[in-house]
Structure 1
Amino acid sequence: MSTTRRRATTWLALAGLTGAVAITGATATASATGTSAAAELPVYGVRSAGLTPDQAAALQRAFGLEDVHLAEDGSVSFADEATYLHVPGLDRGAGKPDEDGSETTLTSLDVDALSRLRAIPVEDATGKALETLRGAGLLPANATPTAAHTTFEVVGADTKPVLSAPLDTAVSFAFTLDGVPLEGPGAKLRVAFDGQGAVSGLTYSTREVVEVGRVPVLTLDEGRERCAKVLGASVRPTGVSYVYEAPPLSEKVDRLDPGFRCDGVNSDGAAVQAVIVGAAVDARLPQPGPVDPPREEGSLAPQWTNRIDVGSEGTGPCSGLPWTANNLSTFNNRFTAAGVPVQFSWVNHNAWERDFKDPVFPGGQDHLYADDVDMTYWQGHGSPTGFSFAGCSSNTDTFLSKDEARWGNKDVEWMSLFTCSILQASSGGQSWAARWGKAFRGLHQINSFDTVSYHSAVHGGKFANYLVRQPFLWWNKPMKVRDAWAQASIDTQPASVRWATMGPIGGGGLANFDDYFWNKGPVGPDTLPTGGYWRISGTS
């Protein structure tokens, strides 16, 4: 393919105004999957970012929506207040006050209504999304759709399945540039349809780019060596592939350079959050930020059980995750701005396994940290059976096992684990409920992922913002905790990533599936899983 033709094809694909099929360059495709030298890959210049007001209005009309939100960066979003991730529930009145003294509301699952839920077929949803976007002139030609149901599962106290109900049918688009994946918050298009075929949720965040040159790149074998340098000694690279990273539209970048997506496995078997590094021969590797002073062994957090607060921890460059400190800062700063204190925030070598381990186990101090705040946010490597501190610290050891988690018997309501595969549907012959059910000792929810997740510097801030933003129009209103987790994951993760939230079911079907953060909406009381467990999961 000539340079002129390739550039024209790329422009049509990314302008997304024709619905034409993108033509894939043979060299890029081979280099994305093989180990031979790619020699060079294109660099793309950004022509524009996001949609114009006229395009946003066309999108709104095409899907028959009452309103959409066009953000300053050009991204467009919509969430129907009545149907977005709606789970049928029954109001049971006031519950007993929380340990903070806050009022609670009793809500039970409406099992009959759940059993009657239906969703439109994935083929119908895909066809409807394609036809509508194409008709509006807003179908990117370099976008490939996949569709799946968002599901709500209920299991009994014995963890045996009771029911699985579809909440919607979501069509998520994956993007490529001349055959190489384009991934990130700036390459997002997702349309969710409710059971009647109406749009319940919409995310549209793209750039128009055109090839402006080419740069020499390392081979995939050389890329594996580069990934190994970034991931660190505790991680074994398992997969390296070419990729273009699409940062959030709020980042005013003028070009997209080729990169490597680095996948791996930690020394303790935990899956590694996928990390993207530059693939160009002269690309600069991520540089670790300033190192915090060592945490003192005997240091203890102040105890504030009678107030509403949050905490955060994560492993960073010591485990091959360069942006953890940035991500935790976005989480911390958003809560601080909302007047919610951050009781603790430990990163890298200062993040300790004992902070999440119950005192019934030797060395456990979760009553001083993860279980002494209302929400704890964690970022690092994980697996279906726990999460990892390998390469960073060993206090008391390098892996927090599911069997050492006893959360909510002091304060924590929501454990939000930005890591891989914690809530995987099944692993080692055990379901999500069988693995993590024992952790619920008053805990309301675990927010995490069913699949491997991708490293992010902004997920925590988006999650926090959805939780605590000030009510006005629908796009300013606070979201339920599980919805905020889902939307932050949709915003930041590729279409292949599946997010998930689980919680306990008490007597009479009482459950905290509709919790908001404190003072932002109703919150249920601490509930033990005497009746079973629920899980919601969906695609990004």
Structure 2
Amino acid sequence: MSTTTRRATTWLALTGLMGAAAITGSAATATAASAELPVYGVRSAGLDPQQAAALQRAFGLKDVHLAEDGSVAFADESTYLNVPGLDKGAGKPDEDGSETTQTLLDVEALRRLTAIPVEDATKKALGTLREIGLLPDNATPTAKQTTFEIVDAYDKPVLTAPLDTAVSFAFTLGGVPLEGPGAKIRIAFDGQGAVAGLTYSTRDVVEVGTVPVLSLDEGRDRCAKALGSSVKPTGVSYVYEAPALSEKVDKLEPGFRCDGVNADGADVQSVIVGATFDTRLPGPDPVQPPRSDSAISPQWTNRIDVGSEGTGSCSGLPLTGNNLAAFNNRFTAAGVPVQFSWLNGNAWERDFKDPAFVGGQDHLYADDVDMTYWQGHGSPTGFSFAGCSNNTDTFLSNNDARWGNRDVEWMSLFTCSILKGSSGGLSWAQRWGKSFKGLHQINSFDTVSYHSGVHGGKFANYLVRTPFLWWNKPMKVRSAWAQASIDTQPAKVTWATMGPIGSGGLANFNDYFWNKGPVGPDTLPTGGFWRISGSS
């Protein structure tokens, strides 16, 4: 360790700021004067063909995909995030006239699923990576099983089955967390211990100097400015951001991880801002022309289309505009119309509210397309428009959601904590079950999610890419959501998807996007609900 690294690390340890220290606002958390932290130069990014081949051989994989940016991916089509099902033939056509396929949950096959212990998975991942020289010194593993849950119509647990055991690695630089798509190693083992899925995306960095940084108290002020007036900062910590390898950065500088809570109680997507003195906060999003009540969406249930909405800089989320654009552009390139895309003050709560409730107009927007994608702050009981719009109010409550009684199949909510296991004495199924009125899936998170400008584009690409080899084939909707979240979120973030179970076990857990694979018929939750969740 160099002198500068020792100096920075010692200062962090003495002030109690090693790792993800939190500021609560009490006098006890006051920090020392500003210090210096290391700057790291990028020596190389990703793996070369020889390293990718070594990774393939060591884990016994039939092939791996080495991308142009040096990231490596593998998925076994037969086992990765596989949920047993029974094909029951053609179902009732969808409202747009598309054919559907009925699939039943194979409950007995689910009961037979096994997973290797987390200790064994961790040992295997560490040993194999170390043997081939691809275990970074700054990587720490955690292991967790990906699970599939079923509850009946009365919320009584039926089963919880393990789908795999995933080992995800967290990274540090000089004791400070390194987070982002460019700091990702995740290996998922099936029930027999074979690799079902693998993601490897890292940079080789070396310390090249130091830079003065603001103290954590000063960082709290910066986070407050970045997050906006409707958000109360609850935690500020030093972090290094690792962007996707496709972003050709030559150095990594320290930043602040900003956590908070919205005025309405919603969890805030965690945001990174720079920690150096000369860092400028992101500017406002490009301004959309204001909406009016008369500017309503066409009511087109006879075509396949998508829509997107989100709160950006008005709620302290500077990348939302980029993220929605990435989602929109990928669908447009695939020939799928984007019926609406509203940002900031143009994103309205009433667009997600059922007409049965005062002011609701989801039949014109969120429930008038096949998939709606949302980004913003959220909670176990809804998502927030605070600081951005108040039309008809600032919070979409789970009690106001009745989705699928018009068109929408997949509600994809890139926000926080929507599908938290339990909150306020209510389970995920009890909180969101009544929103399923023909809806196939809610894709979201069990935990706080981290802000991203690329999640939407990755999710859309996994849904609509052109079939060829396995890494070009479309993924199931729930698997695309999981993989986009794995690609963009730290290991501690838990993604989740839930859906209804109809008569005889009919369920839409294996849906693809339209024209990319089988899609089930609209199903009411007469038999209960299912949920899949796993670590990023």
Aligned to 1:171: 167
The root-mean-square deviation of aligned C-alpha atoms, in Å, is 1.2
Cα distance in 2 between the residues matched to 1:538 and 1:2? 38
3-state SS of 1:263 partner: strand
Quote how far apart the aligned CAs of 1:26 are: 2.5
Distance 1:261 1:50 in 2: 25
2:180 to 170, 174, 184: 184
> Does the CA-based 8 Å contact 1:311-1:342 persist in structure 2?
yes
User: What do the CA deviations read for 1:328-352 (whole angstroms, capped 9, x no partner)?
Assistant: 0000000000000000000000000
Q: Is the 8 A contact 1:327 1:457 kept in 2?
A: yes
SS at match of 2:255: strand
Unaligned runs of 5+ in 2: 22-28
CA deviation string 1:383-416 (max 9, x = no partner): 0000000000000000000000000000000000
In the other structure, the counterpart of 1:450 is: 446
* C-alpha separation in 2, matches of 1:287 and 1:53: 40
The answer to whether the aligner puts 1:412 opposite 2:396 as a matched pair is no
| Counterpart pick for 2:91 among 76, 80, 95 | 95
1:73 aligns with 2:69: yes
| Residue 296 (1) aligns with residue 268 (2) | no
Equivalent residue number for residue 503 of structure 2 = 507
Task: Name the counterpart of 2:341.
Answer: 345
Alignment counterpart, residue 116 of structure 1, candidates 106, 112, 118:
112
Of 11, 25, 43, 1:27 maps to 11
Any residues of structure 2 matched to 1:272-311 within 5 Å, and which? 272-311=268-307
User: In 1, distance between residues paired with 2:447 and 2:183?
Assistant: 20
Say which SS state the counterpart of residue 69 (structure 2) adopts.
Answer: coil
Please list every run of 5 or more consecutive structure 1 residues that lacks an aligned counterpart in the other structure: 8-23
1:393-472 equivalences under 5 Å are 393-472=389-468
TM-score (norm 2): 0.96
Q: Secondary structure at the match of 2:220?
A: helix
Equivalent residue letter for 1:61: R
Rounded Cα–Cα distance in structure 1 between residues aligned with 2:46 and 2:12? 26
Q: Give structure 1 regions of 4+ aligned residues with deviation exceeding 2 angstroms.
A: 1-7, 24-38
Distance apart, 1:302 and its partner CA:
1.1
Following superposition of structure 1 onto structure 2, how do residues 23-422 of structure 1 map, counting pairs within 5 Å?
A: 25-29=9-13, 30-32=16-18, 33=21, 35-422=31-418
- Same amino acid, percent of matched pairs: 82
Distance across 2 between alignment mates of 1:26 and 1:115: 51
SS at match of 1:107: strand
Is 1:28–1:178's contact at 8 Å kept on the other side of the alignment? no
1:25 partner SS: helix
Question: Residue 465 of structure 1 aligns to which amino acid in structure 2?
Answer: N
Which residue identity does 2:35 align to in structure 1? A
Relative to structure 1, the CA distance from residue 379 to residue 51 in structure 2 (aligned partners, 3 Å threshold; closer, same or farther) is same
In structure 2, the residue matched to 1:523 is: 519
Contact kept, 8 Å, 2:185 with 2:199, in 1: the verdict is: yes
Partner of 2:26: none
SS in 1 for 2:33: coil
Residue identity matched to 1:144: T
Shift of 1:290: 1.9
Aligned equivalents of 1:298 and 1:174: distance in 2? 49
Q: How far off its partner does 1:288 sit?
A: 1.7
Question: Does the aligned pair in 2 maintain the 1:171–1:190 contact within 8 Å?
Answer: yes
Q: In structure 1, what residue type is equivalent to 2:76? A: D
Q: CA deviation at 1:38?
A: 4.7
SS at structure 2 position matched to 1:215: strand
CA contact (8 A) 2:419 2:496 kept: yes
Q: Displacement of 1:5 after TM fit?
A: 8.0
Aligned to 1:18: none
CA contact (8 A) 1:358 1:405 kept: yes
> SS state of the match for residue 230, structure 1?
helix
Q: Is the 8 A contact 1:155 1:161 kept in 2?
A: yes
1:27–1:38: 8 Å Cα contact kept in structure 2?
no
Shift of 1:455: 0.3
Amino acid at match of 2:443: N
Deviation of residue 136 (structure 1)? 1.1
Residue pair 2:311, 2:344 contacting (<8 A) in 1 also: yes
Separation in structure 2 between the aligned mates of residue 116 and residue 56 of structure 1, nearest angstrom: 34
Output one character per residue of 1:402-431: Cα deviation in whole Å (capped at 9) or x when no partner.
Answer: 000000000000000000000000000000
Report the alpha carbon displacement of residue 103 of structure 1 after superposing the two structures with TM: 0.4
Q: Which digits, 9 at most, give the CA deviation of each residue in 1:306-334, with x for residues without a partner? A: 00000000000000100100000000000
- Paired with 1:487 and 1:51, the residues of 2 have a C-alpha distance of 20
The one-character-per-residue Cα deviations of 1:12-70 (angstroms, maximum 9, x if unpaired) are: xxxxxxxxxxxx93234444436323511011111111000000000000000000000
> 2:421, 2:183 → 1: CA distance?
27
Kept after mapping to 1: 8 A contact 2:4/2:38? no
Cα distance between partner residues in 2 of 1:38 and 1:28:
11
Deviations 1:415-457 (A, max 9, x none): 0000000000000000000000000000000000000000000
Cα distance between partner residues in 2 of 1:52 and 1:4 = 31
Once residues 327 and 271 of structure 2 are traced to their aligned partners in structure 1, the CA distance between those partners, rounded to angstroms, is 20
8 Å CA contact retained: 1:183, 1:246:
yes
How many aligned residue pairs are there?
Answer: 524
Counterpart of 1:12 in structure 2 is none
Give the Cα separation in 2 of the matches to 1:289 and 1:507: 47
Matched letter for residue 3 of structure 1: T
Q: Give distance in 2, aligned partners of 1:149 and 1:84.
A: 13
Report deviation, 1:287: 1.5
Asked whether the 8 Å contact 2:375–2:415 carries over to 1, the reply is yes
SS at match of 2:74: strand
Q: Which amino acid aligns with 1:226?
A: R
Closer, same or farther in 2 for the Cα pair 1:308/1:137, shift >3 Å? same
Q: Call closer, same or farther: CA 1:5–1:233 in 2, change over 3 Å.
A: closer
Separation in 1, partners of 2:516, 2:132: 36
The structural deviation recorded for 1:299 is 1.3
* Counterpart AA for 2:83: V
Post-superposition CA distance 1:111-149 (Å, at most 9, x none): 001011110000000000000000111001100000000
- Per-residue Cα deviation, 1:357-380 (whole angstroms, up to 9, x for no partner): 000000000000000000000000
For 1:28 and 1:334, locate their aligned partners in 2 and report how far apart those are by CA, in whole Å.
Answer: 43
Which residue identity lines up with residue 255 of structure 1 in the other structure? Answer: K
Counterpart-to-counterpart distance in 1, 2:17 and 2:145: 33
| Alpha-carbon offset, residue 225 of structure 1 | 0.3
Structure 2 counterpart of 1:496, which letter?
A: K
Q: Structure 1 CA distance, aligned partners of 2:515 and 2:490?
A: 32
SS in 1 for 2:327: helix
CA contact (8 A) 2:4 2:210 kept: no
How does 1:465-504 map onto structure 2 within 5 Å?
465-504=461-500
Q: Which segment is superposed worse, 288-297 or 509-518? A: 288-297
